C-alpha cells in the first residue's frame, strides 16, 4: 500500500490530475503493485510557507 | 511524546473532536503514556488533492 | 481513504498491533468509513532523534 | 539536502520569515551544509485541527 | 521546489532507483519544473509498522 | 505546540543535539512560545533513499 505525498506550490486541477496519474503509473511499474493500492496526496504549499536558502519563496526574485 | 497525523478529507468539527479524543485514548492505552504528551494533528485533504488508483477523488464516481 | 501516521518511540509488536487496531476502529467510527480504506503507518523514532524543549530524549532524565 | 517541516498554528508573515531564516542558519551550522540545499516548509495547522491531551486547541482554555 | 515522499515497504536498490527517476520525470512534466529542484525521499516502512483495515501487514495473509 | 520534522542524511549525535537545540531556540524566539511545547523529530534518510534531480544520492558524484 504505497502512499505518496507531493509537497509543492499549488497547481491547476489539470496538473494535479496529471501528476497523480503519472506517479501512480510509475509506482505500479517500479514497485510491481496494482493501482488499487496506491494513494497519492498532494499538499499545496503557499509561497509564503516555503523557503529555499532561508528566503521565503514569496519574497525571492528567482523562480525556485 | 507520540504525535499522530491524520490525513483525510475534511470533516465536521464534531468528527474532528471525536477522532482526536479517540486516538488520544487509544494511544495512551496501547503505549502506556499519559494524555498530556499526546498530540494529534489533522490535515484536511481536498478531494482534488487526493488520488486513489491514479484518479483524483474529486473525479471518481465511487466514494473511496 | 484516511491515512494515519504515528510518530513515537519504538514499541513492542503487541503494542503496535493494539494501536493500529484501535486507531482504525476510532477512525471508522468518527469518520463513518469502512476499515478497508484506513491505513496506519507507524514510524519508530529513536530517542536520540527526538527532542522536547530542545533536549534529545536520549539525554533527558525524565520520561517525556 | 535537508528538508525541514514546521507544523504549527498559523503565524504572521514576519514570523514565518524569521523562523525560515533561523532554521536554515541553524541547519547549515549544525549539519555543515550550504543554505542553497536547505528547504523549509511551514504547515499552518488550524486550531480546530490540533489536539493536545485529546482536546482540540480551538476548545482548550489554556494556551498550549 | 517540489518534494515527494514515498511511503512503502522496503524495495531493492534497483526499484528505488526506478521510482525516484520516474517520479522526478513525471513531476517535471506535469508541473513544468526542471529536475534540479525536485527531491524524492523514500521511507521504508517495515511490515509490522503498517496496517490496513486494522491488521498489521506482517500479520495479514493476503498481500496488500 | 509547534512540531518540527528534520529530514536529512544521518548525522552524529553531537550534530543532532545541536540542531535540536538550535531549532527549538529559533522556534521559541520567532513564534514566541516556551520550549516546553516544542518538539523536534529527526528522520535519518539513507542516501539510497533520497534522490535529487532523479538520481539517488548514493549514486551521485557530487555532494548535494
Architecture of domain B3-59: 2-Layer Sandwich (3.30)
* Fold held by F3-8+20-59: Macrophage Migration Inhibitory Factor (3.30.429)
pLDDT band for position E15 (50/70/90)? very high
Q: Dump pLDDT digits (tens) for B16-61.
A: 999 999 999 999 999 999 999 999 999 999 999 999 999 999 999 7
d(CA D47, CA D10): 9
- Separation CA D45–CA D49 (nearest Å): 6
Is the Cβ pair D39, E39 closer than 8 Å? yes
Q: At residue B3, what are phi and psi to the nearest 5 degrees?
A: -125, 130
Phi first, then psi: give them for residue E31, nearest 5 degrees.
-105, 0
Question: Which helix or strand (DSSP H or E) is residue B64 part of?
Answer: none
DSSP C57: G
Give the gap in angstroms from C-alpha B35 to the nearest C-alpha of chain D: 4
- What is the interface size between A and C, counted as CB pairs within 8 Å? 8
Cell 521511507, residue located: E43
Q: What is the pLDDT of residues D6-50, one digit of tens each?
A: 999 999 999 999 999 999 999 999 999 999 999 999 999 999 999
- C4, C17, C28, C34: which to substitute to probe chain E, counting the most E Cβ within 10 Å? C17
The residues pairing with B50 across neighbouring beta strands, listed in sequence order, are A41
Cβ neighbours of B3 in F, within 8 Å? 3, 39, 41
Instruction: Give Cβ neighbours of residue D32 (< 8 Å, ≥ 6 apart).
Output: F15
How close D48 comes to chain A (CA, Å)?
19
- Indicate the fold that domain D1-42 takes in CATH: Macrophage Migration Inhibitory Factor (3.30.429)
pLDDT digits (tens, 9 = 90+) for A9-63: 999 999 999 999 999 999 999 999 999 999 999 999 999 999 999 999 999 975 4
Chains E and B touch (3+ CB pairs under 8 A): no
At residue F64, the pLDDT reads 47
Hey, how many other C-beta atoms are within 10 angstroms of the C-beta on C7? 22
CA–chain centroid gap for C15, Å, is: 10
Per residue in E1-14, pLDDT tens?
899 999 999 999 99
**Residues in Cβ contact with A64 at an 8 Å cutoff, skipping those fewer than 6 apart:** A52, A57, E1, E37
Q: Chain-wide mean pLDDT for chain E? A: 95
Task: Kindly state the cell numbers that stand for E17.
Answer: 532507483
Q: Are the beta carbons of C56 and F17 separated by less than 8 Å? A: yes
Report the gap between the CA of E19 and the closest CA in chain C (Å).
Answer: 20
User: What is the pLDDT at residue F62?
Assistant: 59
The answer to whether A16 contacts B48, with C-beta atoms less than 8 Å apart, is yes
In angstroms, what CA-CA distances link D52 with B8, B37, D57, E39, F37? Answer: 19, 8, 7, 32, 10
Least confident among A59-63, B30-34, F37-41, F58-62: A59-63
Query: B50 with B9: CB under 8 angstroms?
Result: yes
> How crowded is residue C60: how many other Cβ atoms within 10 Å of its Cβ?
14
Task: Give which of A1, A3, A5, A8 is closest to A52, Cα–Cα.
Answer: A8
* Min Cα separation D4/chain F (Å): 5
- Range list of β-strands (E), E1-64: 3-8, 39-44, 50-52, 55-56
Q: Answer whether F50 sits within 8 Å of E39, measured CB to CB.
A: yes
* Residue numbers in B near F41 (CB within 8 A): 3
* Cα D37 from chain centroid (whole Å): 18
Comparing alpha-carbon positions, the chain A residue that sits nearest to B44 is A43
pLDDT band at D61 (very low <50, low <70, confident <90, very high): confident
If we measure between CA atoms, which residue out of B42, B49, B44, B35 comes closest to residue B2? B35
Q: What is Dmax (Cα atoms) for chain F? A: 43
Q: How far is CA F61 from CA C8, E35, F52, F57, in A?
A: 35, 16, 12, 8
Q: Which three cell numbers stand for residue E40?
A: 524524492
Which pLDDT score is estimated for B61? 73
Cα(F51)–Cα(D1) distance, rounded to whole angstroms?
A: 9
- E34: which 3 cell numbers? 526542471
CA–CA separation, D23 and F38 (whole Å):
14
Amino acid at each position: 500500500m504505497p502512499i505518496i505525498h507531493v509537497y509543492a506550490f499549488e497547481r491547476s486541477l489539470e496538473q494535479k490530475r496529471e501528476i497523480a496519474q503519472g506517479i501512480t503509473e510509475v509506482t505500479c511499474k517500479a514497485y510491481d503493485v496494482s493501482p488499487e493500492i496506491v494513494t497519492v496526496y498532494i499538499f499545496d504549499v503557499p509561497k509564503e510557507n516555503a523557503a529555499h536558502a532561508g528566503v521565503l519563496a514569496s519574497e525571492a526574485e528567482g523562480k525556485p
